[in-house]
Structure 1
């Protein structure tokens, strides 16, 4: 499989924003296209084509451009007006139409990220203690329905959907259905 982001006529993927973000970030950094090419190892021609909205580019090349500009990958590909907590940008498409990768959301991290696999049986609940200030959780539900009760409001996340929130507050998880609920939890601090 290739890790190339392919431009699509409807521009519903990361290339919809990468072109303008690259130009804006490069100019803000005071770099010419040639200087950015040297700093990133990405050819000037690729940079010209990307800024013009007419290219396919690898995710690793986008990452190298972001690094050279002193920003993260999200700054390169996301809608600058959207919340980083709910990006939902198609970042990769395979040969099979069912093969896709979507960047769902992002939060800043300073020291650690933990990936967890969870399941809760019907009627089961987990009550958590608040995390320190600056900690966040990202939850993706793969099966069932998960209710997350938080001090700043409750939400229910169904299979195929996700939530991102500050975990520096009292919160709990509850199975909101009649079958096992399975979800992936990422804790970022």
Structure 2
């Protein structure tokens, strides 16, 4: 899914939630940091840094941690004091100040259903990690022109159009228009 809070200097509340939630969920599962590292394929050092709030992490890596803990992505990133249906947390920032992804909320599904609001400045690109098999995305473009790049093809999605695809593959979003791109993204498993 890409890098959480990419290119953002100050520590975010989301990373604070990840650290607190990761530590709590790991202990509830009865796992040491070493055991979680082995189960998730993520280094113990990264887990230590996440638990102390001193690391950025890709959204795909958070999925792997959630799977190893037998929990959901949302339980790792959400504020434990707020209702999961309405999160409204910035999860990614690009280079330009208007390039960001906000996780608006979620609803129950087999695993998760997530609703995001994305914006990318002209020329900005976001490259995602493939999601697990069975995950899909639905995108509706509110403003601008989105180019979706897959391994074997690209797809252009103009304003007021949408697309649905499996996100269990390499893909990237790019603003190929001449104004800020804004789109709604729904992710489900």
Same-fold call, TM cutoff 0.5:
yes
**Separation in structure 1 between the aligned mates of residue 184 and residue 43 of structure 2, nearest angstrom:** 38
- SS of 1:38's partner is helix
Aligned residues of 1:22 and 1:51 also touching (Cα < 8 A)? yes
The equivalent of 2:91 in structure 1 is: 91
Residue number in structure 2 paired with 1:9: 10
* Distance verdict in 2 for CA 1:112–1:45, change over 3 Å: closer
Secondary structure at the residue paired with 1:105? strand
* Structure 1, unaligned runs of 5 or more: 116-139, 144-182
Q: CA deviation at 1:96?
A: 1.4
Residue matched to 1:61: 61
The residue aligned with 2:104 is 104
| Aligned 8 A contact 1:19 1:53 in 2 | yes
Give the Cα separation in 2 of the matches to 1:111 and 1:67.
10
List 4+ stretches of structure 1 deviating above 4 A.
140-143, 183-186
Match of 2:162 in 1: none
* Unaligned segments of structure 2, at least 5 residues: 116-139, 144-182
Aligned partner of 2:50 in structure 1 is 50
How many pairs were matched up?
122
- Contact 2:3–2:56 under 8 Å retained in 1: no
Distance 1:141 1:82, change over 3 A: farther
Alpha-carbon spacing, 1:99–1:26, altered in 2? closer, same or farther (3 Å): same
CA contact (8 A) 1:141 1:184 kept: yes
Structure 2 matches for 1:1-150, cutoff 5 A? 3-6=3-6, 8-9=9-10, 11-12=12-13, 14-110=14-110, 142=142
Q: 1:99 to 1:111 in 2, by over 3 A?
A: closer
How far, CA to CA, are the matches of 2:112 and 2:60 in structure 1?
22
User: Who is 1:173 aligned against?
Assistant: none
Larger radius of gyration: 1
Report the RMSD for the aligned CA atoms in angstroms.
3.2
Distance 1:28 1:8, change over 3 A: farther
Distance 2:62 2:35 in 1: 16
Distance of aligned partners of 1:95 and 1:185 in 2 relative to their CA distance in 1, 3 Å threshold: closer
Displacement after TM superposition at 1:81 (Å): 1.5
d(CA) in 1 for partners of 2:37, 2:111: 30
